[in-house]
Structures are given as structure tokens and as C-alpha cells.
Amino acid sequence: MTPTSFQRIGIYLKPGHEDAAEAVSQLLGFLESRGHTLALDEEAVRQTGRDDLRVTGGELPDRVDLAVVLGGDGTMLAAVRQIGPRPVPVVGVNFGSLGFLTEISRERMLPALGGILDGRCRIEERMKLRVEVRREGRVQEHFQALNDAVINYGALARIIEVEVSVDERFLTLYRSDGLVVSTPTGSTAYALSAGGPILVPTSRNLLLAPICPHTLTHRPLVLENTSTISIRLRSHGHVMLTVDGQTGVSLAEQDEVRVSQADHPARLVFPEAPGFFAVLRQKLKWGER
């Protein structure tokens, strides 16, 4: 799919963003003036009153060629999860705070989107994770993640024990506050706070990062994207698996969490400039005193 084929455009809006109505209405007018067919999620309809553009439930990804997300990185992650395996490209406008995925500022929304719709953009394929929870050998739950999967205690500040294997080969027993398995896109999220490296987001790797490990020589590990990581829980208590910081499930002792590359990547759209390194300098304030 090329930018010139972005005729049908869907709008996702961050829930509860009460001051967004004017900006969303401006965006709708801009897109309608260009002749695009529009579809809105429930929050965008609520803010604008455009019930004629409502698309209910999970039908929106099947009705659009491009998804425009107005919010922060969390809204982007939720939209990518709803789109699932469909090859719908997603572009983010930052109505939130940090915004590694939502590269376009609110003030630059209309000219930046106009440039993208005119073909001045880059489309990046970002690998996702497939995350399975297995109990007694059977898959109980499965998820997809653009950023990461995190295992830790849900409420108490306690160490957990997990036995980790890579491609059926034993790696180590981690005693730590938790464990992060991340994509390159997620390397600037929780994994970064856990001491992990920043990976170029279009690279193809898995990142395994313990959170505050009890063994100080346990360091983050970069693995090939073809690897399958098996994490078996050796602790009891209220241990949680959290996917992209938004979906969670309780784990029982001896549960296995299996993480691998998902079959279908996410397709993210960005303006031609500034690019990832410029975003790093800006968001992380590199070089500032």
C-alpha cells in the first residue's frame, strides 16, 4: 500500500482528552476537503458529534486504508492491537506527553498529514511479539505486543524466580523484581528503564532485560528475532504478565510464558523528517546541559 492509496482514513482518539474536540473537527474538515472517506472510533464521535462517521466495535480496521491516532504512545499501542494482523498503516499525532511513536506534534498535525497523504513519508515495518501463556502444556492465553511483555509481582515489592530458556536451551535462573521481553520499538520503553540498550526500531531482534536483578552480573541480552524465549515461573503469589502496559493476566507457579516474533509486523507511518535519531535527541534531551 502506498500513500496515494490512503483514501479511507480512520481516526482513533485518546479517551478522556476533553480539549481535543476543536483539533479533531479541524482535522475532519481538512480531510473531507481533500475528498477522503472517514471513519471515527467511539471517542472521536463523542467529542465531535459526527455520528454519521461512527464505526462500531472492531470494524474500523476493516474499513480504512490508514489509521490516524490522536493521543500518546498508549493510544498508538491500543490502536495497533485492535488492527492486529491487518496491513493497515498507522500514523500518530502526539496529544500525550513523551511520544516516541507519535512523532507528529499537535501544532504540525495538518501540514504533516498533508505531506504524508501527498506521498512525503516513510512507512516502517515494526516487528511485534507473540506472547503465549501455557499451563500444563496447553495455551491458556495469547497476545500480541508492539512494545513489550513484562513479568513481575502485581502488588508487592518482592523478588520473583523465573527459569529462562532460549530455543529449548537453558539460559539462566533469574532472581529479580521482574523480567522484560521487548521489541526494538519497545527498547525505549520499560526495557530502557531496566538498563537495556536502545535498538534501532526497524531492526529485527528480541531484547531480554531483568528488572533489578539480584545477581549483578545478569545484564540485558539481545537475541535474534528467530529465537523463542521460554520463561517458567518458579515463584508463587500474585505474579502478573503485562502486555504493552495495557493487558494483564495472573500467572501461577509452573506457568510458562513463551515469547517469539509475531507473524505480522505493525506498519507505522512517519513524515520524511526528522527520523529516529532526531527523535532520540529531542525526547531524551541528548546534548542538553
Q: Is 12 exposed, middle or buried (0-12, 13-18, 19+ CB in 10 A)?
A: buried
Provide the pLDDT for residue 1.
Answer: 58
Q: Is the Cα dihedral 197, 82, 65, 129 positive or negative?
A: positive
> Which residue among 73, 148, 244, 255 is the active-site one?
73
Where are the domains positioned within the chain? 3-127+265-284, 129-261
Distance CA 192, CA 2 (A): 33
Judge whether 218 and 160 are in contact, CB under 8 Å.
no
Distance CA 193, CA 68 (A): 28
Give the position of cell 527520523. 275
pLDDT, one tens digit per residue, over 229-248 is: 999 999 888 899 999 999 99
Is 73 a catalytic site residue? yes
Instruction: Say which CATH topology domain 129-261 has.
Output: Tumour Suppressor Smad4 (2.60.200)
Q: Across-strand partners of 91?
A: 68, 269
Provide the pLDDT for residue 100.
Answer: 87
What is the average per-residue pLDDT within 46-68? 93
Distance CA 128, CA 121 (A): 22
Judge whether 219 and 123 are in contact, CB under 8 Å.
no
Identify the band that residue 155 occupies on the pLDDT scale cut at 50, 70 and 90. Answer: confident
pLDDT above 80 for 96 = no
Cα-trace Rg, the chain: 20
Q: Across-strand partners of 134?
A: 139, 256
Instruction: Say which CATH topology domain 3-127+265-284 has.
Output: Rossmann fold (3.40.50)
